[in-house]
Amino acid sequence: MINTIRAVVAQPLFFLFDHSIRKFFIFVSLFLVALFLLGANIHIYNMSFSLLNQKIVTEEEISENTVNTVTIEKGDTLNNILKRENISNEDIQKIISIAESKNLTLLKIGKTITFEYTLNLIENDGEELTTEQKTLNMISFEIDNTKSVDIVKSGNNFSTEINSVPLTKLITKYETIVDSNVISSLKTTGLSSNSIVSLINTYSHQIDFQRQIHPGDKITVITEKFVTADSKLSHHGDIIYACIETQGNEYEIYKYSPTGGKEQYDFFSSEGQSIKSTLLKTPIKVVRISSTFGYRHTHPVHGYGAMHKGVDFSAPVGTPIYAAGNGVVEFVGWVSGYGRIVILKHSNNLSTAYAHASRFASNLKKGSNVRQGDIIAFVGTSGNVTGSHLHYEIRENGKQINPANFKSAPSIQLTGMGLAKFNKFKNQISHLHSKLDDNIEIAAADIKEINLF
């Protein structure tokens, strides 16, 4: 409590004033702390027990299957594909030797290899999903429409199985109006946690889920759904389309490939811009969303304002922090108030800062090149903080600007014929949208008019 109040009052000031003035403000802050505590105590006594009980956090571990299907292209080798999946060298050797014995290393262009992983997630009170590591379960080689050969991992060993019952791919629409919490609202629709995480990560260039989503907002997701022969859900596949309606704005994303190739797809906005932009709006991949919407907006430490020139993302200690864009490390070290901080330079006038880290990525030093999405540091509590979080700043010409207002250039802008083709695709998705009423599913094989990859 004391820490919370102190940081609310003092943290923003730490960033603004130098040493001598700072001392004066610490004094004033402590005085305000005393005043706040008096008020807060009265408030706590007035709270009912049921309210206090809600503070108990229950942690639940969820395991879900997630898959990645790779379509074999010209020039692919099994070794390259396994490397792209980040499989360990030790496992790659075992997989290749077993694949050779079953004639699976002669890859056929156009066939698929599906990787099935277990994704472990931690859920707190049904509000937070924390991405944990993926573990490989199985690699499935498509032989024809009804048969696959699976390399199954058990412990450290691999064995093969012939699988002749294929999964059916359905296209389903999920719709929800956000109530107090975005994750629980999405979960009530039947969307798997793994899909919710990928939805939020896909939107990480455009939407700050910790601040921009409000009760009453509408979320629509059209996604692939794989079911077994007895109609049981196996897993959700790729998101095909999603729309978030918030505060009078519509954020639509379309899974689309400008070349028509299965592997070159990207997510595009309704204006035909790839949503991957020069800077990420959310440089962490953890999905942690507080249910107290109103409080968050007025909280001076969490939001951007005259006194707080950045945005805070609460996340557990050790959560990876990603480079928001391609750039060069300008500073890595300790700055008073900020604690452990990384500053990246993206262009002559644009830089980003990531503060309060617990540690830096190994090998990260001044002058290192980083790419968007590289891990640069880990969330912590260093410097002047109240709890573990990332303090993120975007700086233009050395001055902090509000990340919510920052518009970064899209990496692809479709124009001319390309845009016309995309607009046609959008119309087809819109037809599909109206065909798919909530929870009504269409077999992907029956959707002939749209190239859904």
Residues lying near Zn ion in the complex (CB under 5 A) are found at 310, 312, 391
For Zn ion, the closer of residues 317 and 412 by Cβ is: 317
Phi then psi dihedrals of residue 449, to 5 deg: -75, -20
Q: Residue 337: CB partners within 8 Å, gap ≥ 6?
A: 11, 14, 15, 383, 384
Q: How far is the CB of 368 from Zn ion (least distance, A)?
A: 24
Q: How far is the CB of 206 from Zn ion (least distance, A)?
A: 22
For Zn ion, the closer of residues 329 and 355 by Cβ is: 355
For Zn ion, the closer of residues 138 and 379 by Cβ is: 379
Q: Residue 60: CB partners within 8 Å, gap ≥ 6?
A: 122, 123, 124
Task: Say how far apart CA 262 and CA 12 lie, in whole Å.
Answer: 48
Q: Which residue has the tokens 């990787």?
A: 115
Q: How far is the CB of 311 from Zn ion (least distance, A)?
A: 7
User: What's the angle, vertex CA 323, arms to CA 329 and CA 183, rounded to 5?
Assistant: 160
For Zn ion, the closer of residues 181 and 351 by Cβ is: 351
Instruction: Give the Cβ contact number of residue 77 at 10 Å.
Output: 12
Ranked by CB distance to Zn ion, the top (closest) residue is 391
User: What's the angle, vertex CA 284, arms to CA 282 and CA 289, rounded to 5?
Assistant: 75
Q: How far is the CB of 12 from Zn ion (least distance, A)?
A: 8
Task: Say how far apart CA 316 and CA 288 lie, in whole Å.
Answer: 9
Print burial letters for 250-273: b (CB count within 10 Å at least 16), e (below 16).
ebbbbbbebeeebeebbbbbeebb
Task: Say how far apart CA 89 and CA 32 lie, in whole Å.
Answer: 58
Q: How far is the CB of 389 from Zn ion (least distance, A)?
A: 7
Instruction: Give the Cβ contact number of residue 351 at 10 Å.
Output: 22
For Zn ion, the closer of residues 310 and 410 by Cβ is: 310
Q: How far is the CB of 343 from Zn ion (least distance, A)?
A: 15
Q: Which residue has the tokens 């299907």?
A: 69
The two tokens of residue 102 are 């079953």
Give the DSSP letter string of 342-404: EEEE-SSSEEEEEEEEEEEPTT--TT-EE-TT-EEEEEB--SS-SSSEEEEEEEETTEEE-GG
The two tokens of residue 379 are 């969330």
For Zn ion, the closer of residues 116 and 312 by Cβ is: 312
For Zn ion, the closer of residues 173 and 391 by Cβ is: 391
For Zn ion, the closer of residues 254 and 304 by Cβ is: 304
Residue (of 139, 137, 141, 140) closest to 153 by Cα position? 137
Q: How far is the CB of 393 from Zn ion (least distance, A)?
A: 8
Q: How far is the CB of 303 from Zn ion (least distance, A)?
A: 9
The two tokens of residue 137 are 């379960």
Q: How far is the CB of 207 from Zn ion (least distance, A)?
A: 19
For Zn ion, the closer of residues 255 and 356 by Cβ is: 356
